[in-house]
């Protein structure tokens, strides 16, 4: 297993664990009308019918789900151009604190990692190597520049992880549900670089996130995430299937099947043997 696969797999694992709260809350920072009433079972007359009043939509897609911890068991298939066996993953999220993950193949642990607000750590047991980095390396692997712990946790929790507003995005309804698309290029500025994206988000009629597409307007880089087979477990909406596609300067994809969800607390051991070699991030 090549050394760079440590972080690639770990990030792919955590981005698959998307959850969504079914509770309805209002974000007081959003300037919208309060007169919108969702008409259930209405099929829009047009392919993309404009939504002039967005209250119900924002009330569902912006609030964070309420939980303390969640454990997710998954089966993962990764396509990178090199052979990677089917992986069994355990992902444990402790809200606002950490995301811990363990990957096994053929009943043996092959990688383990942890993400916190300070950065990421990961180890590849097959090559006896490890990384200790900030989030720039993850951004580089995903061909984007906006991933930090806060945005990562929003991705994990099924929340809108890019900034949206009424003046720069257009919300429409269609037979599938809702579409939120940027009508001007979205500039994201970080310490390392500035990039501009075209962003499209798709939601179903129940406000479950179906797809997120971010396309860099100045390069072929593109990130596309799709979700399917949502279920409500312990009052939280969870997807059974996830597909992540990375295109551009680096291309790969992952197919994930989430098989079990558990809300009990668990131990999250992480230590690096002294014999492991650190991978220098360049």
Range of the domain at 105: 5-266
- Contacts for 269 with CB less than 8 Å, ≥ 6 apart: none
Quote the CA–CA distance of 68 and 97 in Å, as a whole number: 10
Share of the chain above pLDDT 70, in %: 81
Q: What is the mean pLDDT of the chain?
A: 80
Q: What is the pLDDT of residues 40-83, one digit of tens each?
A: 445 545 567 878 778 888 888 888 888 899 998 999 888 877 77
- The 3-state DSSP class for residue 275 equals coil
DSSP class of residue 269 equals: -
- The 3-state DSSP class for residue 52 equals coil
Tell me the whole-structure pTM to 2 decimals.
Answer: 0.78
Q: What is the CATH number of the domain that holds 163?
A: 2.50.20.10
275, part of any domain: no
- Contacts for 43 with CB less than 8 Å, ≥ 6 apart: 175
199, part of any domain: yes
Q: What is the pLDDT of residues 236-255, one digit of tens each?
A: 888 888 888 888 877 888 88
Q: What is the pLDDT of residues 131-184, one digit of tens each?
A: 898 888 778 777 788 888 888 777 776 777 778 888 889 999 998 899 999 999
Residue-level pLDDT at 13: 42
The total number of structural domains in the chain stands at 1
190, part of any domain: yes
Check if the beta carbon of residue 177 is closer than 8 Å to that of residue 49.
no
Share of the chain above pLDDT 90, in %: 37
Neighbours of 41 (CB within 10 A): 5
pLDDT bracket for residue 33 (50, 70, 90): very low
């Amino acid at each position: 297993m090549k050394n760079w696969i440590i972080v690639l797999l770990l990030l792919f694992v955590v981005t698959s664990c998307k959850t969504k709260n079914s509770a309805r809350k209002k974000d007081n920072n959003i300037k919208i009308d309060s007169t919108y009433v969702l008409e259930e079972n209405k099929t829009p007359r047009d392919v993309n019918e404009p939504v002039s009043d967005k209250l119900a939509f924002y009330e569902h897609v912006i609030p964070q789900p309420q939980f303390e911890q969640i454990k997710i068991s998954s089966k993962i298939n990764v396509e990178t151009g090199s052979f990677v066996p089917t992986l069994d993953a355990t992902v444990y999220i402790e809200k606002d604190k950490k995301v811990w993950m363990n990957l096994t193949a053929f009943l043996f642990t092959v990688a383990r990692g942890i993400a916190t607000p300070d950065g990421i750590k990961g180890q590849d047991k097959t090559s006896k190597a490890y990384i200790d980095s900030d989030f720039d390396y993850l951004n580089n692997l995903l061909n984007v520049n906006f991933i930090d712990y806060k945005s990562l946790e929003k991705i994990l929790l099924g929340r809108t992880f890019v900034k949206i507003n009424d003046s720069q995005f257009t919300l429409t309804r269609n037979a599938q549900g809702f579409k939120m698309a940027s009508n001007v290029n979205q500039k994201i500025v970080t310490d390392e670089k500035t990039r501009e994206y075209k962003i499209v988000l798709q939601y179903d009629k129940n406000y479950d996130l179906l797809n997120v597409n971010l396309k860099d307007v100045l390069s072929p880089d593109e990130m596309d995430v799709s979700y399917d087979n949502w279920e409500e477990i312990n009052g939280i909406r969870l997807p059974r299937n996830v597909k992540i596609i990375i295109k551009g300067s680096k291309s790969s994809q992952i197919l994930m099947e989430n098989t079990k969800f558990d809300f009990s607390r668990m131990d999250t051991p992480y230590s690096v043997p002294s014999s492991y070699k650190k991978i220098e991030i360049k």
